[in-house]
Structure 1
Amino acid sequence: MMGILEKRCFESVSRRLVRAVVIAFLFFLYCEVIHYCVVLLQCTWPSLPVSSSPRGHSKGQLKVMFIADTHLLGFRKGHWFDKLRREWQMKQAFQTSMVIHKPDVVFVLGDLLDEGKWCDDDEFNYHVSRFKSMFAVPQGTELHVVSGNHDEGFHYMITDHKHLRFERSFDSPSVRMLRIKNNIFVLVNSMAMEGDHCTLCTAAEDQLQKIATKLAQLRNCGKRSSSDDSCSEFQGIQYTKPVLLQHFPMYRQSDSVCNTEDSAPPEEKNIPFRLRYDCLDQRSSNQLFSLLQPRLVVSAHTHHGCYLVHPNGVPEWSVASFSWRNRNNPTLLLARIDSNHHVVSQCFMPKESTIMNIYILGGIVSFLSLFWPSSGLGRRKKFW
């Protein structure tokens, strides 16, 4: 008789343990996979005004995703579990976004790596390989990056070698113009905007001048007869004001003008920005505005979101960090752009605090399930 009772007791405990493990696994599955889908499904692409779009206009629209400051950890900073956790979160969020939102192009606005400015070539190549694996894009989606201060170093730390290895690894020169679906993007290395006539800065400013000249020619050719021989190289290309993409924000005194949901906390907003460290200086900002005449600026670097309109009427969005190591609620930007218009919306990732609360709830439920009767109601009635 005792043997039977012991066997039943063992079976009951085993069933309760299995039930607790299953409940814990389901909570884990939700937090690490399903929750990302639930949150990202709430983000939608913004819509351009129909009244300003001609018939068939949607065919020329471009769906653009902006992320920044992924800061893939190296071997010097952070715990191994911290590194594992953050990389899983970013990969899961990014790849889920690719499946749900299917952007035409993704721009990563600097600080892809956390220790690119310190590491040797072997370590750098290892980090680059990890980044390309985590942020792989599907066929039909383009990915372009600009350099950040953690990728090459601030201006005073940059060497030709550091600059060239990043440029080769990501096809990211200091200044680059892209034309995608009749939309023009100019990508600029913020650390090359120091204005001190160094080799890097001189080359970047020369390239900016060439792009400005080409944009002016394209703009003028749009006003001339199509038979003008001087415009033959621009046939079939429509002029549109470019979108300027860079790591540093344009000159601003602080984040006090920023009021997006992911802007800096109140205690940080009024801290003055350090020029060429927290943002571009006024000279470089004016130079970019004057040469490129952009219709939109998108930047990063501060790890906080921001939206402002500069005195010349040009709007600027700063995208917050995409890493949960820097924020409880990382964000990305979704933009719909055509040759004449653009509209931008923010997309928030799962909050770290929410995930932790769900895990705590899951732990409590799993623990309490150990004390739930393991037999069915019918069997209990029969026993009594």
Structure 2
Amino acid sequence: MTRVSGPVFFLCGQRWSVNGLTAVIVFLTIFSNEFLVYIIQSFRWPNLPVGSRDSSETQVILLVADPQIQGYQDEPGFPVGIISRWDIDRYLSQTFSLAHAYAKPDVVVFLGDLMDEGSKATKDEYKSYYYRFLSVFGASEKDKRVYIAGDNDIGGELRDMRKE
């Protein structure tokens, strides 16, 4: 018989050490917050009668406000910046995909501040932000899309001069 130092818990007929139980709780918390919460919350949305709509008379518009793809300049360096951009992009992509599947829009309107650092980005950074934006919000290529620039995209807030 093996001896375990420290407290032991019995759960579902199994012996669990404090470390093992803590690891399971942390894993379940991360899993539910990173994956399940999106799906669970989408069940709370009201039903829309979009399945039987006549597209010649009804148009569904999905408004996406202030998504702000994170930049490189104001973010922490390696590895924190890479991880935070990956996590933010994944969050935006998952929530947009759920909203898109729910609304089944004919038009998607992006209401400004598409990029966090667009107004001060170099040409290469701006191009990178643009392609990241397309990959994050690429749920459907058949939608008509409208992009409205915000102050983070082209400037215009306080000392951040507006750029073309």
User: TM-score normalised to the size of structure 2?
Assistant: 0.71
1:124 Cα deviation from its structure 2 partner:
0.6
Partner of 1:63: 60
Q: Are the aligned partners of 1:41 and 1:100 in contact in 2 as well (CA < 8 Å)? A: no
Q: Alignment identity in percent? A: 22
Q: Are the aligned partners of 2:67 and 2:115 in contact in 1 as well (CA < 8 Å)? A: yes
Distance 1:120 1:61, change over 3 A: same
**Residues 1:128 and 2:130 aligned together:** yes
1:57 Cα deviation from its structure 2 partner:
6.8
Which structure 1 residue ranges, 4+ long, deviate > 6 Å from structure 2? none
Partner of 1:21: 23
1:19 Cα deviation from its structure 2 partner:
4.5
Q: Deviations over 1:277-330 (max 9, x none)?
A: xxxxxxxxxxxxxxxxxxxxxxxxxxxxxxxxxxxxxxxxxxxxxxxxxxxxxx
CA distance in 1, matches of 2:114, 2:58: 27
Q: Are the aligned partners of 2:66 and 2:113 in contact in 1 as well (CA < 8 Å)? A: yes
Partner of 2:41: 39
- SS at the partner of 1:58? coil
User: TM-score normalised to the size of structure 1?
Assistant: 0.33
CA distance in 1, matches of 2:26, 2:97: 25
Distance 1:139 1:128, change over 3 A: closer
Distance 1:153 1:37, change over 3 A: same
Partner of 2:145: 143
**Residues 1:157 and 2:154 aligned together:** no
1:119 Cα deviation from its structure 2 partner:
1.0
1:41 maps to a residue whose letter is: F
The aligned length equals 147
Distance 1:99 1:57, change over 3 A: closer
1:32 Cα deviation from its structure 2 partner:
1.0
Q: Are the aligned partners of 1:102 and 1:141 in contact in 2 as well (CA < 8 Å)? A: no
1:111 maps to a residue whose letter is: D
**Structure 1 segments unaligned to the other structure (5+ residues):** 49-55, 164-384
Match of 1:107 among 106, 109, 117: 109
Structure with bigger gyration radius: 1
Q: Are the aligned partners of 2:96 and 2:139 in contact in 1 as well (CA < 8 Å)? A: no
RMSD, aligned CA: 3.1
2:92 maps to a residue whose letter is: M
Q: Deviations over 1:192-216 (max 9, x none)?
A: xxxxxxxxxxxxxxxxxxxxxxxxx
Matches within 5 A, 1:177-192: none
